[in-house]
Structure 1
Amino acid sequence: MMSSVKVECVVAAGALIGEGPVWEEPEQKLLFVDIAGQKIHRWSPTTNQTETMKTDDSVSFVVPRSGGGYVAGVGRSIVAVDWSSQTMTSLVTVDDDKPNNRLNDGKVDPKGRLLAGTMGREVRPAEVELEQGSLFSVNADLSVTTHLEQVNISNGLDWSLDGETFFYIDSLSLRVDAFDYDQLTGGLGNRRTVYGVPEGAGLPDGMTTDAEGKLWIAVYNGGRVIRVDPTTGVLLQTVSLPVSKTTSCCFGGRDLSDLYVTSASLGLDQSERSKQPQAGGTFRVSGLGVKGRPSNSFSG
C-alpha cells in the first residue's frame, strides 16, 4: 500500500504561509488561506482554477457557514465572508487587550461551534512572544468563551469520531493534547498528552482526523505529514513532501480520499528556495487507503 502513495503539487500559489485547508463538499472545492499574503483561496480540482479574495490583515482560517458564505479569522476578528460580493463583515473580536495578537487556526465542532486560537504576531517566522495566545469558542449567538490562556502558538484542532474528545496543538510545546469535550456546552476538561514530536524534528502544526479516528499532523520545518493513533500514541505512517514548511492538512476530493497539504515559503533563504521550488504550494497526497470526514459549518 505504501508504494502507491503519490504526492503532487496541485496549486503552485507560492503562498507566503499557506494554511487552513478545508474541503467544501457541496462545491467540491478546496478553501485555504495565505496568512501573511492576506488572501483567501478557493481551488477547484475539476477546472484547476483558483479564485482569490484579498483581506486587509492576516487571514488565518476560513470555514463554511451554515446559512451560506464563510467565516474567517482576520487579524483578531471573526468575520463573515460573502464571496459573491467579495465583502467582509466583522462579527466579533477577541483578545481586545492584546492588540499585537492575531488569530491562528480555527475549526468548527460537530455542533456548529467555532473554536479558534490566537498567538503573538511573529517577529520572524515562527518566532513569537511566548504565552500571549488563548483558545476560544464562538457560539451560534456569537458569544465567546475562553478555554485556555498562556498559549504560545494555538494550532491544530479536531475531534474524535464520537465528538467526545478534542485534540489540540500548541506548536511550541511539541505536543498533541487531548481533552474530554462536552458537546452540549463546548467545555474542555481532563487535558492529557497523546503524542510528542521529538525535539529538533519540526513543530506540530495543522491537523485533521480521518474516518478511522487517527490523526494526520503537518510538521512545520519537518517536510512531512504524520499519521498518529491518539489512543496508543503510536506513529503509524509518515509522508514526506518536497517542501520543509508543511503547515496543515485536510481530506478532500470526490470520496474524501485525497489528503491536501498546505505549505509556506516565508522564512526560507535563497539557497533553501532553490532547493524547494514548490515551497508555498498546496499538495495532494493520494493512494493513502484512508478517507477523511466532511467539514462542519459554523452555525452562527
Structure 2
Amino acid sequence: MSEIERLTDSVKLGESPHWDIESQSLFYVDILGMAIYKYTPSTKKLTKASVGLNLVSFIIPVQDEKNQFVVSLGREIVRIFWNSETEDVRVIEKLAEVEESRVFVDNRFNDGKCDPSGRLWAGTLNTRAQTPLGYPPKGTLYSLDAERNVKSHVSHLRISNGMAFDAALQAMYFIDSAKGTVDRYDLDVTSGTISNCRPIFTLSKHDVSGIADGMTIDADGNLWVAIFNGGKIIKVDPRRPETLLATVEMPVKQVTSLTFGGPDLDELYVTTGAYKIDDEDLPPPDNGALYRIRNVGAKGLPAANFRFVNI
C-alpha cells in the first residue's frame, strides 16, 4: 500500500518538480510566489530563492554546469546561477523570448521539460481567464535546442501543461488541460519535431473529475498524471488507449505535478497548490505542500537536464 508523507509547508502554487540525481535532491518552483526551491531528503533541508517580480514556472539543471539552471521568467527563458544553498540568484543570459506582440502581453510560460537529447520543451498560456481555469486559446508549445534555436510546434493552446517522453517508442505525451485528454505525438528527437497527435486517455470516459496537469513516465512506459482540483494521481497505459491502471487519492485538492526520485527512483515527489478558485480557501499546511509517496510499485527514468553546445 502506498505511503503518503508531507515534506514541507505550503507554497502558493508548487509546480514542475525535477529530481537531480547528482545532488540527490528535488528542484521545483512556486509560480505565484515567484520562487525556486531545492529540497534534499537526506537532510530534510529546504532552500528557497526569489527570482524577482516575474512568474517562474520551471527549473531545470544545465548538464555539466555546476549551479546553473534554465528557468522561465514570464515569456522569457533564461540561464541562471544559483548555488542552491542561499537566496543568491544571478541571471547569466536570456536564451529566448516569445510572443513579444501586445496581443500576448498576458501570456507566460507554464510547464517545461527536456527530452532525452536535452532539448527543452515549454508551452505558454494566457493568464486572462474568462472563467475559473477558462483561459483563451492563445498559448503555443515551443522547443529550445542546444544551439538556442526556438521552434513553435502547436498553437491555440489553452493550458499548456504536462509532458513526458518515451525514447523507445519515439513518443512525446502532452497535456492541454482544457481538452480533458492526454495526447500522444510521434517524436523525432534528432530533428526536434512532433507529428500525428491523437488522444490516448480521456478523463470524462473514466469519470475523473478535475483537469490533467503535470505528468511523468515510469520505466515500464506508464504515465502518472496529476489531477488538479481532483485530489488524485492517475496511472495510465499509453500503449493501450483509455486504459486506467491505478488511482492514488491525495489528501489535497490541487495536485499539480509529480516526478520519480530517491536513490532508486522509486519514490514519487508530488507538488500541490493552494490557489484560490471560486472563493474557496485551501488552508495550510497540507495545501500547497510537497509530498513524497513510497511503495508505488514502479520506478522512474532519470530526468533529462538541458544541454548546451558552444557555451
**What TM-score results when the alignment is normalised by the length of structure 1?**
0.94
What is the aligned partner in structure 2 of residue 243 from structure 1?
Answer: 252
- Whole-Å Cα distance in 2 between the matches of residues 43 and 27 of structure 1? 10
Contact 1:163 1:183 in 2 (8 A): no
Deviations 1:93-124 (A, max 9, x none): 11112121000000000111000000001548
Aligned residues: 295
Q: Residue 211 in 1 paired to residue 211 in 2?
A: no
Match of 1:159 among 154, 160, 165: 165
Q: Residue type of the partner of 1:73?
A: S
What is the aligned partner in structure 2 of residue 178 from structure 1?
Answer: 184
What is the aligned partner in structure 2 of residue 72 from structure 1?
Answer: 71
Per the TM alignment, residue 266 of structure 1 is displaced from its structure 2 partner at its CA by 1.4
For structure 1, the residue ranges without an aligned partner over 5 or more in a row are none
Per the TM alignment, residue 127 of structure 1 is displaced from its structure 2 partner at its CA by 2.9
Q: Percent identity?
A: 35
- Whole-Å Cα distance in 1 between the matches of residues 234 and 8 of structure 2? 21
- Whole-Å Cα distance in 2 between the matches of residues 127 and 270 of structure 1? 13
Q: Residue type of the partner of 2:47?
A: E
What is the aligned partner in structure 2 of residue 202 from structure 1?
Answer: 210
What is the aligned partner in structure 1 of residue 230 from structure 2?
Answer: 222
Q: Residue 264 in 1 paired to residue 273 in 2?
A: yes
Mark the CA change 1:170 to 1:39 in structure 2 (over 3 Å): closer, same or farther. Answer: same
For structure 2, the residue ranges without an aligned partner over 5 or more in a row are none
- Whole-Å Cα distance in 2 between the matches of residues 62 and 53 of structure 1? 12
Contact 1:73 1:79 in 2 (8 A): yes
The worse-fitting range, judged by mean Cα deviation, of 220-229 and 155-164 is 155-164
Per the TM alignment, residue 52 of structure 1 is displaced from its structure 2 partner at its CA by 1.0
What is the aligned partner in structure 1 of residue 16 from structure 2?
Answer: 20
Match of 2:55 among 58, 81, 84: 58
Contact 2:144 2:150 in 1 (8 A): yes
The worse-fitting range, judged by mean Cα deviation, of 92-101 and 287-296 is 92-101
What is the aligned partner in structure 1 of residue 98 from structure 2?
Answer: 94
CA-atom RMSD, angstroms? 1.7
- Whole-Å Cα distance in 1 between the matches of residues 222 and 39 of structure 2? 26
Per the TM alignment, residue 284 of structure 1 is displaced from its structure 2 partner at its CA by 0.4
Contact 2:125 2:158 in 1 (8 A): yes
Contact 1:76 1:103 in 2 (8 A): yes
Mark the CA change 1:120 to 1:83 in structure 2 (over 3 Å): closer, same or farther. Answer: same
Partner SS state of residue 172, structure 1? helix
Deviations 1:228-280 (A, max 9, x none): 00011211011111100000000001100000110000115787535x74000
- Whole-Å Cα distance in 1 between the matches of residues 56 and 71 of structure 2? 7
Q: Residue type of the partner of 1:266?
A: Y
What is the aligned partner in structure 2 of residue 104 from structure 1?
Answer: 110
